[in-house]
Amino acid sequence: MTATRRTRAVAIDLDDTLISAYRRPDLAWRRVCQLYQTELGDLAPDHAARALTEAGRAFWSDPESHAIGRGAPRQARRIIAAKAFEALRRDGCATPSPEIAERLADAFSLHRDRQMRLEPGADAVLVHLRDAGYRLALLTNGAGPLQRAKIERFGLASHFHHIQIEGEVGVGKPDPAAFRRMFAALAVEPAEVCVVGDSLVWDIRPAMALGCFTILYDPEAGEAVGRGSGDAHVVVRTLASLATHLPGAARPPGASDRAGLRPPGADNAHGGG
């Protein structure tokens, strides 16, 4: 599917869209628990990792906790570790001291930071979209200093006409006010905007409700990507394939099908690339 309306602007999410930041917490917790095997004592690393993953899932599923965690992720992980070990103690498991739990949580934060990277094709597609005449916005939740540090670290600022961070403006996704603020900054109407993100809840559904064209970035999507009512117009597995679904953007120079970009219409049968 390709946007058929006059698309003038593209608004893109940061975490787990332009940069790989927070995917697969289960693997990250497992790695850290393996490194802390001695400190865990009789508690098996895999057992600890499962408890930490479950505590993290519960924490981030709660809207109030999520709001706190976005502003202070390091502290959020300390809370998650404390809750995980508390649950294990209730189940009769021996657990390490609170000090060890905090050290393990901080190790998780450090591991996340070291593993953070730019998603494949991110720079190239941003350059191409801007050269094709699109107004570009970076629309991200989180604390200002934290998100600005990521933007600077990966050299993203120069690509965008507008950068909007929840912690700097006081409103974030999925609040419609966050999107409307971006529309005003770019001087565009909702129907003229394509919103790209990795989350149906935070990026796609609120943008669709306002009348935007939407592209869900899901690098783990299967070949047959089935989406129900209220989900994204398009699902892509690579950032390079964004251009396939935007009129006038065509194919990024030098891109190949093997790099994840397919000719326009090649994947229309199942809704994305």
Name residues of the chain where pLDDT drops below 50.
224, 226, 250-273
Q: Is 140 helix (H, G, I), strand (E, B) or coil?
A: strand
Neighbours of 219 (CB within 10 A): 16
Spatial separation of the C-alpha atoms in residues 77 and 81, rounded to whole Å: 6
pLDDT of res. 225:
53
Q: What pLDDT is recorded for position 222?
A: 62
Q: Which residues of 117-149 are buried (b: 16+ CB within 10 A; e: fewer)?
A: ebbebbbbbbebbbeeebbbbbbbbbbeebbbe
pTM: 0.84
pLDDT confidence of residue 37: 95
Q: Give residue-wise pLDDT tens across range 114-148.
A: 999 999 999 999 999 999 999 999 999 999 999 99
